[in-house]
């Protein structure tokens, strides 16, 4: 199946409640041969109207970020965790992400990107569960020939101008990596470190309060 065929099928989806409130399904945009895939949360108002991802104010900042490292939208693929706009731009809910994940997984299968750039915590959780974006942003990990580079969602810079330089600084690391000037950390090492940190925390919590910490760090694809 080509990416176009896949996205045409996606446009007909009405598997979850989000379709009801959306003008249209927004599968994604960019090159079928992209080596880098950016993954956001879900379409906003402008994206819902135009049928394209990241074309509103956050999208303009994403364009600026790409340009700052000599990339443009045609070089990459841009998709979202959920393909229909959550009402009022609320966060996507877990059952909606689960309902929609098959489309993203199929896009990944067709495009086979080498580098994944989750934008924001919802997209980060697809790859790195059990950790926080404030800890992981700007870091590059590798696992099984794939690379993961975590970034804040560009929309955060719209609400908080102090985040702009952080995102601009973070994305420079992606350029350094593309130029072979920065190595990716092994995700396996990171997984072990986070699991060990969580186990220590869990022991301390159990000791102090008798509570259990059920969170886990998981690699999900």
Distance CA 177, CA 166 (A): 17
Distance CA 218, CA 220 (A): 6
85 vs 153 by CB, closer to ligand SF4: 85
User: CB of residue 57 vs ligand SF4: minimum separation in angstroms?
Assistant: 22
83 vs 173 by CB, closer to ligand SF4: 83
Q: How long is the chain?
A: 221
User: CB of residue 87 vs ligand SF4: minimum separation in angstroms?
Assistant: 12
Q: Which residues of 6-43 are buried (b: 16+ CB within 10 A; e: fewer)?
A: bbeebeebeebebbeebebbbbbbbbeebebbbbbbbb
User: CB of residue 122 vs ligand SF4: minimum separation in angstroms?
Assistant: 13
User: CB of residue 86 vs ligand SF4: minimum separation in angstroms?
Assistant: 8
3 vs 10 by CB, closer to ligand SF4: 10
Query: Where along the sequence are the contacts to ligand SF4 (CB under 6 A)?
Result: 10, 13-16, 18-19, 25, 82-84, 96, 99-100, 103
Distance CA 109, CA 21 (A): 28
24 vs 46 by CB, closer to ligand SF4: 24
39 vs 66 by CB, closer to ligand SF4: 39
Q: Please say whether the beta carbons of 171 and 141 come within 8 A.
A: no
User: CB of residue 31 vs ligand SF4: minimum separation in angstroms?
Assistant: 21
Strands 28-30, 77-80: parallel, antiparallel or unpaired by DSSP?
antiparallel
């Amino acid at each position: 199946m080509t990416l176009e065929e896949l996205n045409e099928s996606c446009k007909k989806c009405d598997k979850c409640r989000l379709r009801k409130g959306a003008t249209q399904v927004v599968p994604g945009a960019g090159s079928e041969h992209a080596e880098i895939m950016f993954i956001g949360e879900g379409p906003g108002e402008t994206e819902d109207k135009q049928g394209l991802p990241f074309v509103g104010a956050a999208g303009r900042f994403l364009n600026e970020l790409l340009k700052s490292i000599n990339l443009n939208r045609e070089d990459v693929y841009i998709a979202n965790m959920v393909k229909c706009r959550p009402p009022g731009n609320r966060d996507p809910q877990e059952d909606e992400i689960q309902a929609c994940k098959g489309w993203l997984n199929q896009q990944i299968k067709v495009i086979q990107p080498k580098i994944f750039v989750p934008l924001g915590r919802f997209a980060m959780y697809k790859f790195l569960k059990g950790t926080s974006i404030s800890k992981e942003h700007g870091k590059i990990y590798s696992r099984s020939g794939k690379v993961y580079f975590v970034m804040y969602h560009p929309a955060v810079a719209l609400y908080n101008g102090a985040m702009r330089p952080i995102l601009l600084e973070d994305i420079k690391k992606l350029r350094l990596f593309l130029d072979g000037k920065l190595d990716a950390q092994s995700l396996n090492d990171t997984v072990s470190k986070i699991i060990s940190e969580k186990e220590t925390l869990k022991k301390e919590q159990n000791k102090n309060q008798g509570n259990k910490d059920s969170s886990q760090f998981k690699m999900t694809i």
